[in-house]
């Protein structure tokens, strides 16, 4: 055997050894994930983790305030810090004008002490102003005509915690950065559809699937109201939703289990969500070629893993090369920051589209990543080895 033949044989033997090693180590995705194979009894279900923040918030609310008050009284419009009011006093036009409730909840009334109106109904605020004018000696009795009207709702900061996607302090009913008094033309009456409980829940990312809509608590001053929003999920009950004021605290209780009835766009759930996607393997070499752009990563709330696979272009193409592709879902249990990764093959998802233990729903900010099939991996490995050793072998033969 000639020297060139010996060298060529050694290169071929080395190449075969490398191909076998690569093939043995070549996996579609990590195998130690919940892949729900036909021989496996593993099913993925998002758990609800009751962390220390949840328990402390619930305990603090129930121990520091009076519970089980009738929340129907919240339907009465009350004045909040930042609201704009028009005030008229009979026979004293110099006092008539536009007033804004300050950060302490007071109005600065001319020639008198500041008057606290925040948290009061209109009728109560009128009586309070009459009493102050009488105490100042401006009137002999309370029969003098005084009128107070709310003409502009301000933006308010409220706290939303519990079973929502983005708990914390939220601002609702934001207004443009301009002089509000310049735009107030009416003398009485105000309306806003963005300063109620629905707006606050939406600003907090919407309620999670484990939320208990029968147990939503609203703390105002030292009173705790238990509110039932179960009708909102079907689009009714909007008229009875309480209007919020500055400093309100909202707590959304959890049922402890995920309910698929809440995984759809509603007034109090997310209308849509962003899902992080990656499809960097063949048939596309980058996300741009995969058409995984900004629009592809925005999915309607209620989308499942197979929907994300289609949006990321993980489904379709050459059947032999792509039918056994797989996808990784990186998600979190409700109330937990710890990430969980599961694997599903495309064939599994297509065969079990209605089984949500196999084809789970996606949550906001979940991540999905596509992996190629074994056929494609071996083909690309063989192609790489050929590109590496081909020129060497040709040079040896020649």
DSSP character string of 59-72: HHHHHHSEEEE-GG
Query: Residue 297, Cβ neighbours under 10 Å: how many?
Result: 18
CATH for 52-75+155-255 is 3.10.560.10
More confident of the two residues 284 and 163: 163
39 has a pLDDT exceeding 50: no
Q: What are the structure tokens assigned to 59, written together?
A: 């305990």
67 has a pLDDT exceeding 60: no
179 has a pLDDT exceeding 70: no
Q: 3-state class of 74 per DSSP? A: helix
Q: What is the pLDDT of residue 10?
A: 56
How far apart are alpha carbons 331 and 353 in whole angstroms? 19
CATH for 84-152 is 3.30.1950.10
Q: What is the pLDDT of residue 207?
A: 95
63 has a pLDDT exceeding 70: no
Phi/psi at 222 (nearest 5 deg)?
A: -115, 30
Q: What is the pLDDT of residue 362?
A: 95
User: Which tens digit of pLDDT belongs to each residue from 265-293?
Assistant: 888 999 899 998 888 655 555 555 555 55
Mean pLDDT, the chain, whole residue set: 77
Residue 44 neighbours by CB under 8 Å, 6+ apart: 34, 36, 340, 342, 357, 360
DSSP bridge partners of 144: none
Q: What is the pLDDT of residue 316?
A: 73
pTM, full prediction: 0.77
Q: What is the pLDDT of residue 228?
A: 85
């Amino acid at each position: 055997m000639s020297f060139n033949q010996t060298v060529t044989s050694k290169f071929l033997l080395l190449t075969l050894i490398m191909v076998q090693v690569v093939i043995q180590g070549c996996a579609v995705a990590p195998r130690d994930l919940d892949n729900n194979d036909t021989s496996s009894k593993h099913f993925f279900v998002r758990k609800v983790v009751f962390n220390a923040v949840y328990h402390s918030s619930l305990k603090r609310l129930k121990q520091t305030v009076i519970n089980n008050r009738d929340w129907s009284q919240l339907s009465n419009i009350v004045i909040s810090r930042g609201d704009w009011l028009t005030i008229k006093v009979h026979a004293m036009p110099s006092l008539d004008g536009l007033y804004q409730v300050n950060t302490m909840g007071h109005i600065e009334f001319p020639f008198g002490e500041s008057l606290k109106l925040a948290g009061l109904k209109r009728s109560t605020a009128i009586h309070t102003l009459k009493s102050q004018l009488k105490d100042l000696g401006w009137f002999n009795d309370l029969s003098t005509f005084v009128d107070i009207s709310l003409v502009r709702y301000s933006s308010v900061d409220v706290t939303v915690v519990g079973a929502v996607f983005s708990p914390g302090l939220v601002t609702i009913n934001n207004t443009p950065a301009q002089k509000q008094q310049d735009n107030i033309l009416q003398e009485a009456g105000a309306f806003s559809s963005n300063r109620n409980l629905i707006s606050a829940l939406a600003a907090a990312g919407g309620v999670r699937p484990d939320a208990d809509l029968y147990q939503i608590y609203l703390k105002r001053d030292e009173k705790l109201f238990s509110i039932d929003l179960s009708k909102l999920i079907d689009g009714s009950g909007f008229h009875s939703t309480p209007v919020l004021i500055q400093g309100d605290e909202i707590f959304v209780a959890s049922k402890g289990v995920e309910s698929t009835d809440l995984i759809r766009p509603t007034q109090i759930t997310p209308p849509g969500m962003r899902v992080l996607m990656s499809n960097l393997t063949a048939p596309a070499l980058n996300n741009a070629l995969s058409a995984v752009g900004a629009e592809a990563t925005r999915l309607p709330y209620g989308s499942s893993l197979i929907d994300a696979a289609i949006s990321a272009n993980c489904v379709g193409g050459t059947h032999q090369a792509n039918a056994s592709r797989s996808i990784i879902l990186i998600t979190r249990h409700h109330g937990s920051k710890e990430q969980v990764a599961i694997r599903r093959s495309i064939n599994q998802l297509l065969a079990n589209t209605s089984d949500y233990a196999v084809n789970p729903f996606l949550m906001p900010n979940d991540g999905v990543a596509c992996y190629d099939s074994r056929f494609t991996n071996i083909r690309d490995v063989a192609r790489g080895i050929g590109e590496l050793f081909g020129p060497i072998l040709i040079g040896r033969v020649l």
